[in-house]
Structure 1
């Protein structure tokens, strides 16, 4: 399957190496912008009222208030756990550069020592964004530095503003341009090497785990075939002897016939496990309905009623999609189903549907739904309403730690999926009911999910 081309504003490293760079949390940018606002406001008040320098106070406060309004809008518009796309992050960093450029224009241009702050946004971009995005931001910052060399208001001063020699101002301009190129380049190279090393270690770990799992399965299959062969043969022999007895009751004869058939089936299964010509690609494929059934089995015994369905396809939807059997995919879906069963009243609905463009799995329950504060931070680790720890913790130590949804989301995102979670409306129907509980959907592009699409 061909990967989609990387956008020039996507996170770092997605173009040629296939390595996905670090995502940027919105709340991190909001926090950094609040720090900038506090520093800018403190500097304006100190210089204007503490040192009693003449400042364009109204224009400066108006420019600073634009950042305050932007942060307030972002807080109201997005949840605190929102992850910025590459385009969004680049746009906000470009705004920060523009706001800083306006402040410096009003306060002396390059003669203002705070001109060094042009390095902050481009350095942040170099650590998490793609190289071309950082290059564009470096170009924007260099443009502002060049404009401020020639156009700016006088430097705030007690008395006449100082006039620096032209050659000295050219030196400041050149130093800033060199710093804007060198420092982000160095940070980007170091960050890129770190990402590549992490990706290489993760790939190596996955390969090692896969080989260990396959080796363990081979050993288990051989041991099962060897140890079960003798008792299975004995069962088959005794069953056939009973079946050949003419005085055997007709009711018992049916049961013995069933035992013979099942013994023969077990023999065939053991033979297929040890056969050298076993077609692994076929065994490793799961239709969408079988994937849902295996995911439901992951949760173990439950006192809730599980409704599993795979909607009949539209004539234009094509054949039922098949996916490679991936333990992490089955575990991720099963974890979401287990969470729904934990909070459901009596029922959990698991439905799969597909179209020529995408494959969707829907999980709903008739429980109380997500609490508003939990829903706003859904996907973050340690986000839970359950008591942490305790004697009821499961073998993996995850019960009550708020890691279940986080782990499932991480595994499903790595498989190419996209997760959405919300609460059902009171009159919203799921099947023939209106449960009004939690509702989670997982979307995959069909080309990414369906192995038959190749």
Structure 2
């Protein structure tokens, strides 16, 4: 399961790629500006030195692209260093092209705003101090551009035109990249909120499992006592001579046996005595037996079962998986006692189970909160836990559960389970043999 730190790193990784894209735009922009200013306007610039600096920036960006393609761990320090490289590159280009008289000196604001959005507070303030020091150094040491002081000409002034271009570039880059970065941060926050919700749900499951396990242990003794009493009754002459009473006793013993099976299943699902009834089988046989047991223990009217699995997979029969599928079938049975359908097929490396019923379907609010505990239309306390457990068991196995209402009426629940999570591994196969 992912953790909050990993989500932050995922957002940092995406933001690092935003900086790499921004650096490519800076390279193209600087090349274009050097060409237009030196050849179009005849301004004397140290073009060789500026091109060498651009070559270093291109090499750094290629290195960054290759590095972050293989490594996805990006933290605050690495983003801070990447922004420092951009600040240093901008400072050197401005130093070579007029310092404070270069209209593109306002691009420092882009670096400061990016730092405020991407970095932790101490790093952002460090960028502010460094950019301030760079501006002061340019004012002290850089030679001004040999441009005429023609500010009074308005838009005809070359310097005013440069200021306008600098403003438009700054505004456009900020709009595009801040929007993308905010989208990354919102996605990270949403994923973090989802993890908190999942952790709360898993804690809820643990508590329910402990409660169910304790109840199962407590039920074991009275069930065993009832089994002994019913066995004694069958041998008593009063019952032995009465066929009707014997039939009733047989039904009671069958139901008692089913109760003991349910209790054993609860204990196995809680991780106790799991090895006692685990057996090597195949997914096709496992589903056939699961359906046969479910049909035998319910007053089924009409049930369709289509097993389209052709390439079988060895598995270990698991009570948790069985109970998960039974929960969905039971919900379908309660919603539509007259008809249910189960279709099983294999799609690539996944097992797909489609459970369909002819009932009233899910309410729109139920579909929006499918799998949330205590969301049920049955009107009884504790309703909705069955589907809640189904969703979380599937999630534990690496699968997913989805639901929809059918156009012709009724509902359909789909379970997608990766076969790798339930398949019998080669080592287990050798042990089982």
TM-score by length of 1: 0.43
Which has the higher relative contact order, 1 or 2, with Cα contacts under 8 A spaced 6 or more apart?
Answer: 1
Structure number with bigger Rg: 2
TM-score by length of 2: 0.44
Query: Which has a greater percent of helix?
Result: 2
